[in-house]
Amino acid sequence: MANENEKEAAARASLRFVRDGQIVGLGTGSTAAYAVRLIGERVRAGLKIRGIPTSAQTEELATSLGIPLTTLEEFQQIDVTIDGADEVDPQLSVIKGGGGALLREKIIASATRQFIIIADSSKQVSVLGKFPLPVEIIPFAQPLVAKRIADLGAIVKLRKSADARPFITDEGHHILDCHFDRIPDPPGLARKLSDMPGVVEHGLFIGMASVALIAKGSEVQELHRPAPR
């Protein structure tokens, strides 16, 4: 229950970044779901926003809560996005994709003026990598990409669903979960992965988050991305 309380506390703290008239990116995952539910409460109380969900799962949740939705076709600039993370380091570099929505999450983050990460205390790390890095791939390229990522030092596993079949993303791709243990140079690894043919997207979000709200017990710590040197 402690982690769930922290998730809700971080989500609640993020609501002050959401204002009337905004286009709001709605994240995916257990922590982001708290934020979506809280935004739904505010909408029912009169808040006027339009949301762009980062997954089919979030779209279903937002619709059930009565949050008005829109699309990137209508708006290519998003005011604020609130999303969770699997790991956050001191530079606010983030691993995302545990829920399988990293591609849409990164697209929405890239179009966002203010990208807010919310997380419980277990997600804060000094160095990224303990959480396996999700890499979304075209199924045809799976053997080749898996070998090339293994050559970078990772233990690579194909993500599977409960029925033991490959997990399929909203865009019809597979995910490789890549266990690096430590990622001392996230930007360098991100470039190597992005350069691999067959890789659609990876779960390293670097230089994207402007604020991270990390809940520790009853307190929520607000962290800002360090200024470039």
What's the whole-number average pLDDT of the chain? 97
Same domain, 169 and 109: no
Give residue 208's pLDDT.
Answer: 97
Spatial contact of 102 and 136, defined as CB atoms under 8 Å apart? yes
59 is catalytic: no
Q: How far is CA 170 from CA 27, 102, 105, in A?
A: 14, 10, 11
Q: What mean pLDDT do residues 98-120 have?
A: 98
Same domain, 146 and 104: no
Same domain, 98 and 189: no
Give residue 194's pLDDT.
Answer: 98
- Catalytic pick among 105, 136, 219, 222: 105
Domain of 137, in residue numbers: 133-201
> Is residue 227 in a domain?
no
For 124, phi then psi, to 5°, come to -85, 125
Our count of domains for the chain comes to 2
**Residue 130 burial (C-beta neighbours within 10 Å; 0-12, 13-18, 19+):** middle
Query: 0.85 exceeded by the pTM?
Result: yes
Listed residue (121, 117, 149) closest to 17, CA to CA: 117
Same domain, 73 and 110: yes
Lowest-pLDDT range of 1-15, 32-46, 104-118, 184-198 = 1-15
Same domain, 107 and 37: yes
Rounded to a whole number, what is the distance in angstroms from the first to the last CA of the chain?
40
Q: What mean pLDDT do residues 22-43 have?
A: 98
